[in-house]
Amino acid sequence: MAPSPTHPRESYTVGIICALDVEKAAVEATLDEEHGGVEKMAGDDNSYSFGRIGQHDVVVACLPAGVTGKASAATVAKDMMRSFPIKAGFMVGIGGGVWSDKADVRLEDVVPPRPLLNAVQGLKATHRRKGSVVHQHLKEMISKYPMMEEEYGSPGREHDELFEASYSHPGGATCARPRIHYGNIASGDEVVKDGPTRDRVAREEGILCFEMEAAGLMDSFPCVVIRGICDYADSHKNKRWQPYAAATAACYTKELLGVVDQQGIEQLGLASK
């Protein structure tokens, strides 16, 4: 896709921040239109991608290579808000999920908490009637960028190692599609990779997902945090599910932005610097 002509800086009111390049690539692949580069403000060290999702001009940034965590996320957000009039922010990427009897969180599922309540609530109601279109956006992504299929395609349920083979996942054939969960996401300074610690914190705080960046954003960059589940926050860490989980998070972000009109964004105040 050839980039369209550069848009004015003032048109980019939606900002998306990713921690990893595998996440940023997935977000870029959901753009309905790519834009040329836009001049940054002096002192902004971020590297950006620009484009359109639905009615919205979107600027996408990634944390520096090898420098994840809340402090790095806060710095990236601060620079983004200095260069662009961001009114709606999103932290999009992967996280460690917490399965329970109440929340059947599985690898590839998507967990967002609750800012932008009107849009989220409306989308939840639509999902009850018609289901999510995340799987359709995933198909469109692979169709548009066939080279992504090998890395970003689903690894398959046989590689989801939470349950014994005898476990029967409810929902029949539809369980192959990502499910959307709404609830609390815990943000900390270290990767959670211990089952007992995960379960204790999740039980005490009602947590569905663990991640490392959002805590650095909430005070200065109010945003929706959207995480695709790539592992179960235990000792069985691997990167097999990361690209597909990143893709599901990016595709849910696209679906959510699709139900927010431009007027709704314009009515929001600027994110605080």
Which token pair is 139? 């198909």
86 closest CA partner among 10, 27, 5: 10
Residue 150 has pLDDT above 90, yes or no: yes
Split at pLDDT 50, 70, 90, the class of 1 is low
Task: Decide if 164 is inside a domain.
Answer: no
**Are 133 and 54 a contacting pair, CB within 8 Å?**
no
Task: Decide if 169 is inside a domain.
Answer: no
Task: Decide if 77 is inside a domain.
Answer: yes
Task: Decide if 89 is inside a domain.
Answer: yes
How many domains, in total, are found in the chain?
1
What is the C-alpha to C-alpha distance for residues 268 and 1, in angstroms, rounded to an integer? 31
What is the C-alpha to C-alpha distance for residues 31 and 251, in angstroms, rounded to an integer? 10
In CATH, what number is assigned to the domain containing residue 38? 3.40.50.1580
The whole-number average pLDDT for the span 65-84 is 91
* Full residue range of the structural domain in which residue 114 is found: 9-159+177-262
Task: Decide if 200 is inside a domain.
Answer: yes
**Are 49 and 7 a contacting pair, CB within 8 Å?**
no
Residue 161 has pLDDT above 90, yes or no: no
> Which has more pLDDT, 12 or 105?
12
Residue 105 has pLDDT above 50, yes or no: yes
Task: Decide if 1 is inside a domain.
Answer: no
Split at pLDDT 50, 70, 90, the class of 140 is very high
Task: Decide if 211 is inside a domain.
Answer: yes
Q: What is the predicted pLDDT for the residue at 108?
A: 56
Task: Decide if 4 is inside a domain.
Answer: no
**Are 95 and 213 a contacting pair, CB within 8 Å?**
no
Residue-wise pLDDT for 25-72, tens only, equals 999 999 999 999 899 999 999 999 999 999 999 999 999 988 878 899
Return the H-helix or E-strand segment holding 229: strand 223-231
Q: Please give the C-alpha separations between residue 143 and each of 54, 153, 223, 243, in angstroms, as whole numbers.
A: 18, 11, 30, 16
